């Protein structure tokens, strides 16, 4: 096998470290074993990179490794378990939405504080200004 990307090229394209790619492989997060060249070096295909992108998105949004591993196992198992995949992703979506709402609330507090300091810098009397 001489096609595909080396681990360094795949890591660069995925925006990950080589160690992270090896970890994903070792921990069962990939869909299939990564192909190897005649010399035994890893060769990642476009499909591998698309899956790695999905894993990266799931991790970036806080999905625990055990759930990513479970999702990968379901996908590897093939059709017939779409309901389980849907349930897993819907549950994760709800968790992401809850964190997003919390962060949005925190951002509002920061924006209010910025407004107060902008008023102070512009010379508005903070004691008389309405409190948000």
Cα separation, 68 vs 53, whole angstroms: 12
Contact 51, 58 (CB under 8 A): no
> Is 80 exceeded by the pLDDT of residue 130?
no
Tell me how far CA of residue 4 lies from CA of 41, 43, 77, 82, 127, in angstroms.
11, 5, 24, 29, 65
Instruction: Give the mean pLDDT of 57-73.
Output: 97
Neighbouring C-beta atoms of residue 88, cutoff 10 Å: 18
* The predicted structure's pLDDT at residue 50: 97
Residues 6+ apart with CB under 8 A from 40: none
> Is 90 exceeded by the pLDDT of residue 98?
yes
* The predicted structure's pLDDT at residue 78: 96
Instruction: Give the mean pLDDT of 55-71.
Output: 97
């Amino acid at each position: 096998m001489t096609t595909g990307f080396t681990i360094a090229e795949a890591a660069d394209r995925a925006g990950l470290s080589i160690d992270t790619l090896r970890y994903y492989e070792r921990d069962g997060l990939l869909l299939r074993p990564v192909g190897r060249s005649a010399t035994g070096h890893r060769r990642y295909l476009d499909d591998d990179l698309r899956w790695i992108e999905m894993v990266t998105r799931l991790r970036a949004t806080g999905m625990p490794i055990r759930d990513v591993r479970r999702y990968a196992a379901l996908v590897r198992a093939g059709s017939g378990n779409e309901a389980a995949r849907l349930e897993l992703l819907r549950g994760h979506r709800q968790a992401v939405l809850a964190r997003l709402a919390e962060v949005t609330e925190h951002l509002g507090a920061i924006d209010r504080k910025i407004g107060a300091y902008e008023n102070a810098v512009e010379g508005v009397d903070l004691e008389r200004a309405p409190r948000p």
